[in-house]
A and B are shown apart, each in its own frame.
Chain A
Amino acid sequence: MLTSDLQALLTTLQMAGLTTLILLVIGTPLAWYLANMKSRFKVIVEALVALPLVLPPTVLGFYLLIAFSPEHLPGQLWQQATGQQLAFSFSAIVIGSVLYSLPFVVQPLQRAFEQLGDSLLEASAVLGAGALDRFFSIILPLTKTSFITAATLGFAHTVGEFGVILMIGGNIPGETRVLSIALFDHVEAFDYARAHMLSIGLLVSSMVILAIIYWLNLTHTDKRLSPKYKQQAEHSIDD
């Protein structure tokens, strides 16, 4: 019996890990674009990104379920490309998680990029650094803490996901049965002992993750980017 919980843990970690990776790859350019966007459509894109923060997960899950079904275009295209049904698959819960956790990755990155500004990037450009070079030599080291925050929040939020997965993933062991679903199962079966075990595990690990993020923010973040620090750099005593 315990192996089924371990399997759920493994599925959860796989889903959250892959989701975080995808989120970093698509969230970074999106956050950069938003940080530098001056068009009046910016608010609309920002609202779209933030939507999962307020939307009931079941709403997102419901529409994704419809889209992923073989009767609709996204589901059809997926089936043609992979030969497998999208709804109720591991891929489905990863796609759902990416959408659901998007704001948790994009927002901290966007703030960091806005704070970073153009000045150091212009300085590195005139020294001969191209765009990719600037990303790895200036942006990444100076916003490192925000990347860690974004990845951790994205990961933790995906682990805690329930509604979307229930709608589009169902409860297939080894495929879509994640910890939060397993917990729900135990409660429905009145197996409170195992429900407690999973709950305490999730509670403590979430607490630890958040504490680490706040500690990181307190000690590292933006020391280099904060206005006070910048001011100090610009107006220190002269020789």
Chain B
Amino acid sequence: MTIDIPHNIASLAMQINVNYGQFELAIDQRFSLDGIIGVFGPSGSGKSTLLRSIAGLEKHLVGSITLNQRNLINTKNNHVVKPQHRQIGLVFQNSRLFTHLSVHENLHYAVKRCHDNRLSLGEVVELTELAPLLAHNVVKLSGGQQQRVALARALLAEPKLLLLDEPMSALDQRSKAKLLRMLLTIQKKLNIPMLYVSHSLAELQQVCDNLWVLNQGKITNFGNIHKVIHQLNYSNLNDKQTSLSLPIELINNGYGLTQLRLDAEQTILLTTQKYFNHLTQLRCFILANDISISLKKIENTSIVNQVFGKIKQINQQQHNALITVQCGEQDFFVMISQFSVHTLSLAITQQVFLQFKASAVRTFIH
């Protein structure tokens, strides 16, 4: 499976095998690295092992890895570039700050060992909002602050590729949202390709354009994030859902609802949140269980969203059915009971209305 990638775009080619007896990671693929790429998979699927392999920390690796035409490892001819020479950054789940150094000294540790020095410490401190914390002892910081220091430290090493290994798994929802927004800003400003590992699709959906799915040591899906999330609806890896990225048409219609443009005729309403003000496009998702189907448009209902579409596919799953409904260019996924499928006599190409409340349209910060 190789894809032709133009030379000016960063690329990562891997042909690797990491064997731990009961667990094996086996990847043979070439990817273009653009923006933030999500790596999703259940626990034990090999996500951390993959990142450790790329960073050069995995000792059991056999095979080769090439980043931007530079061969990092090729065990066939005993070529191994040590982690300190790879110029690949890694932000760990548990920050791993140097406890004998202050925040500023932790950041300076990276600056001192960086050969390029195109980025200034001040610039990175500003991007990560660390200025008030510089003199602090790292152990006294909160989890969210520690991860910001870890992120800043990794950026100051000016990596060609930044790996993020579940950097937010220990944080509360508010800190996560803050760090996610920070990450997006940083990516846009510094244009460093990033691989972002998480077991939370909601988190990845907010920041990634592309997604790799890792399951039992193999990459099973990759591509546009919304497409891959929809492919996952047919697996048991996540909650079945419709993943959307839509233009914001009107923030707060006077009732605290925001209007998104679905297609030429239809819009979707959802509850307004403060951070929408900075956006023109909004990423959100609707769980398949939160949508219902009717054959006619329902009048006099409190449900604010009614979307018209055509049934594309019906997947029977025990007593339920996962129904794919095409509304313009967008596919919606609806989970209803087999009983309802029979009662309504639903069939492929049939035209239907989907109903869901404004509160069913979820964003990451819900």
Contact = CB atoms under 8 A, between A and B. Distances in A.
Contacts of B226: none
A163 to B, nearest CB: 41
A62 B90 CA distance: 55
B88 A126 contact: yes
A239 B142 CA distance: 6
A138 interface: yes
Interface string A97-135: 000000000000000000000011011111111100100
B139 A232 contact: yes
A233 B99 contact: yes
Contact of A128 (B92, B113, B174): B113
Interface of A: 119-120, 122-130, 133, 137-138, 141-142, 224, 229, 232-239
Contacts of A130: 82, 84
Interface residues of B, number: 42
A154 B145 CA distance: 42
B175 interface: yes
Contacts of B146: 233, 236
Interface in B42-73: 55-57
A127 B141 contact: no
Contacts of B113: 127-129, 133
Nearest to A133: B113
B168 to A, nearest CB: 11
Given A125-B83, A126-B88, A238 B143 contact: yes
B321 interface: no
B121 to A, nearest CB: 14
A239 B145 CA distance: 7
B98 A124 contact: yes
B50 to A, nearest CB: 15
A141 B106 CA distance: 14
A141 B153 contact: no
Interface string B296-339: 00000000000000000000000000000000000000000000
A28 to B, nearest CB: 18
B188 interface: no
